[in-house]
Amino acid sequence: MAQRRATGKQTLTRLSRDFLIQHPKAAGLFEVELFLTRVGKETELLGADGTTLKKFVSSHLDVIKSLRAQNQDVVFEGEKWKGWRVVIEAIRENPLDPEKSMPQKGKEPPSSVALDGAIQKVESQTGENSNVPGRGETASVP
């Protein structure tokens, strides 16, 4: 059991590190979704030790899926990427409980930064307000 936990943590750290090396300044919606899906599959191998990480990943995948449901092909860059980078760094730093590695004061949850930025991008391209559920609200991250 201890060996499985150690191996799982090493795998998650490696996956996160490799993703950040491949995507230092930006990443597409699809790449972030694939990364989070892969991390989610790794949590299954951790059993009970992966429960907190599974909830963390699931909440962020929900944001990604809502963007995909709106048929948005978003590239996270600039401020939007900084928010998602924090999420990935938190997984790298503390794979079993990434919430502890997230900044607490004065920052919006990364998922709301990315979602709001993506909505603004679509609005600026179309010249109209999107009728998106939750517009103006902050996405909660458990």
Q: Where are the domains of the chain?
A: 2-126
Residue-level pLDDT at 51: 92
CB 117 within 8 A of CB 80: yes
Neighbour count for residue 19 (Cβ, 10 Å): 21
Q: Read out DSSP for 16-62?
A: HHHHHHH-SSEEEHHHHHHHHHHHHHHHHHHGGGGHHHHHHHHHHHH
Structure tokens at 95: 């794979």
pLDDT at 38: 95
- Hunting for tokens 């709106």 — which residue is that? 70
pLDDT value at residue 54:
94
Encode the chain (142 residues) as per-residue pLDDT tens digits.
678 788 889 999 999 999 999 999 999 999 999 999 999 999 988 888 899 999 999 999 999 989 888 877 788 899 989 999 999 999 999 998 998 888 864 344 455 554 455 444 444 444 444 333 333 333 333 3
Write down the pLDDT at residue 109: 47
DSSP calls for 93-116 = H-TT-GGGGS--TT---HHHHHHH
Integer Cα distance of 6 and 35 in angstroms: 20
3-state SS, residue 77:
strand
What pLDDT score does 116 carry? 52
Angle (CA) 100 101 104, round 5°: 80
- pLDDT on residue 71: 76
